[in-house]
Amino acid sequence: MGTERKSLTLTPSTDELGNLLSQLNYADPEGALLSAVAAICLYQKAGQLPIIDNQPLPEACQPDDQLSCNTSAAQHLWLILSEERNKLLAEWLAAAAATGKRAPEHCLPELLDLGRTSRQLRTLILSVLSQRGRWLAAQNPDWDYVVGEDIEETWVTGSLGARQLLLQHLRHQDPNAARERLVEVWEQEKSDERLAFLETFQTGLSMDDEPFLEAALDDRRQEVRRQAVQLLSQLPESRLCQRMADRVRLSLILKQKRHRLHIDFTPEAANDQSMSRDGIDLKQPPRLLGAKAWQILQIVAATPLQFWSEIQAEPAAEWIQAAKRSEWDRTLVDGWAVAALRQQNPDWAEALLPLHDTFHGYLVAPDKLIRGLIGVLPPERREAFFLKPLQSNSKPFDSKHPAFSLLCHCCYLWSPALTRAAIKSIQRYLTNIENPYDWVLRSALTTFAYFMNPSVAPELSASFSARIPESIQRSYFWAEAIDEFLALLNFRHEMLQELSELGTTELLNI
């Protein structure tokens, strides 16, 4: 109503609050009202009693006998968790686990929270939690994915996340025993649980799993059937892959023209029931792809690559050339690329990688497919594959260089030799620069620093800038990128050094 229309009247009181209110300046009604409200509010807050929690305190964690990482390594982890270097978390966790170190106590809540939202990190996080981390996880239902020390109890009463992580761990140890454990409860599990458990078969997958996965093709839920198809497609000897080979055999037409192999297809009439069971989608094909091409692509992607050399003794490169002479060139190249990834075939992977810019991603996203095919190559073969264009091609190493795009997808640890070759090519480009504003290359420097071998960091810090013209170093466009590149590589080197008494190179090879 306002103090001008009604005077301020307070209820008399003889306690401490009343004494305080009696000292207010009532000649200023507005000020007195506001001061009284503030005093009463503070009085009420101060008089509130804390809530009494009658819950018994949890039993204290037993002393942890696993060695913790040192202070510097803990500081590196803290910087990573603060998102300053968050892309290095997996590398830190793997290095700590390889040397038997546990994460520091003050980082455990952040790690457990990350594991809740990042399933791909859970196994690595679990390896550095130790006894104290498991104890802490048991206090918070949000962290129930952490596997308890009692395996049987976790398998029977644990959350889906914990049971899935446990099954994955067991498949690392003994895939057959893990599968038999799942078989015992398979029919009683809900569809979401069956799907989650089936995803763990990616670990230790072998033909021993084939009968179980073949039976899963008849599961009630479509996602479970699709997952079974994905797994069986990685086993060239599986019945599913052999059925796909039979389909190719019935529709493939091979001809020799002028001593060159030519390919054609007459796809078989669709059998909805048998094809659908084998995961072939007969519905609307992807945009810009015909129905027949879509059918052929799915079949070729699940056909054993050995099949092609059996029907015609030609290397992968010749089959690819034959595909280019066919109307099915895009379909076959995409199908073979997916098959090479699924079957982990290095010969086909190496033959297909030069065509990476033609991948369409109908079955697997192009970036994921390229990274996967590079990963199929054994380390020594992968190094030779990249060294050849770096050392033999005289073109400047900019974003248009033949090796540039593939190197951007090489998300695996580079060898010291490959690292030095790439550095030399970058320095040569910066020395004889024609396009001073290659934004793509500038951005890629940081990407390269995540995968270059950090053992070269000390020598690189001393020599990299010395071989670059001062005009480039003074350029803000390149100076900032070069500083970040060197800082990231040095951070990785120091991080790995602190996690082990071994040298960086030895630790990376563990």
Reported as a single tens digit per residue, the pLDDT across 2-31 is 666 677 777 777 777 887 788 787 878 888
**What are the structure tokens assigned to 163, written together?**
């049971």
**C-alpha radius of gyration, the chain, whole number:** 32
Question: 228: how many CB neighbours lie within 10 A of its CB?
Answer: 25
Q: Residue range 285-309: average pLDDT?
A: 93
Question: Higher model confidence: residue 509 or residue 425?
Answer: 425
* Residue for token pair 């909805």: 272
510 pLDDT tier (thresholds 50, 70, 90): very low
Q: Residue range 236-242: average pLDDT?
A: 97
Question: 179: how many CB neighbours lie within 10 A of its CB?
Answer: 23
Ranked by mean pLDDT, the top range of 56-60, 422-426, 477-481 is 422-426
What percent of the chain has pLDDT above 90?
Answer: 62
Q: How far apart are alpha carbons 402 and 390 in whole angstroms?
A: 9
Give the distance, in angstroms, between the CA of residue 459 and the centroid of all CA atoms in the same chain.
31
Burial group, residue 105, by CB count within 10 angstroms (0-12, 13-18, 19+) = middle
45 pLDDT tier (thresholds 50, 70, 90): confident
Q: How far apart are alpha carbons 344 and 280 in whole angstroms?
A: 21
Using the CB atoms, write b or e for 331-345: b if 16+ within 10 Å: bbbbbbbbbbbbbeb
Length of the chain: 510
At residue 102, φ and ψ (nearest 5 deg) are -105, 160
With CA atoms as reference, report the closest residue to 133 among 119, 121, 147: 147
Query: Average model confidence (pLDDT) for the chain?
Result: 89
Q: How far apart are alpha carbons 136 and 146 in whole angstroms?
A: 10
Q: Which helix (H) or strand (E) holds 257?
A: strand 252-257
Answer for the pair 111, 137: CB distance below 8 angstroms, yes or no.
no
Ranked by mean pLDDT, the top range of 138-152, 330-344, 423-437 is 330-344
* CA dihedral angle for residue 415, residue 417, residue 420, residue 424, rounded to 10 degrees: -130
Reported as a single tens digit per residue, the pLDDT across 144-198 is 999 887 889 999 999 999 999 999 999 999 999 999 999 999 999 999 999 999 9
SS3 254: strand
Question: 87: how many CB neighbours lie within 10 A of its CB?
Answer: 12
Answer for the pair 170, 176: CB distance below 8 angstroms, yes or no.
no
**What are the structure tokens assigned to 372, written together?**
């996967």
Answer for the pair 451, 414: CB distance below 8 angstroms, yes or no.
yes
Residue 47 has pLDDT above 80, yes or no: no
Reported as a single tens digit per residue, the pLDDT across 345-382 is 999 999 999 999 999 999 999 999 999 999 999 999 99
Bridge partners of 257, per DSSP, are 260
Bridge partners of 256, per DSSP, are 261
Residue 310 has pLDDT above 60, yes or no: yes
pTM of the model: 0.84
Q: Which of 54-68, 69-83, 210-224, 229-243 has the lowest mean pLDDT?
A: 54-68
Question: 184: how many CB neighbours lie within 10 A of its CB?
Answer: 8
Question: Higher model confidence: residue 501 or residue 55?
Answer: 55
Phi-psi region of 258 (alpha: psi -120 to 50; beta: other; left: phi over 0): left
Reported as a single tens digit per residue, the pLDDT across 496-507 is 999 975 444 445
Measured N-to-C along each axis, helices 439-451 and 416-431 cross at an angle, to the nearest 10 degrees, of: 160
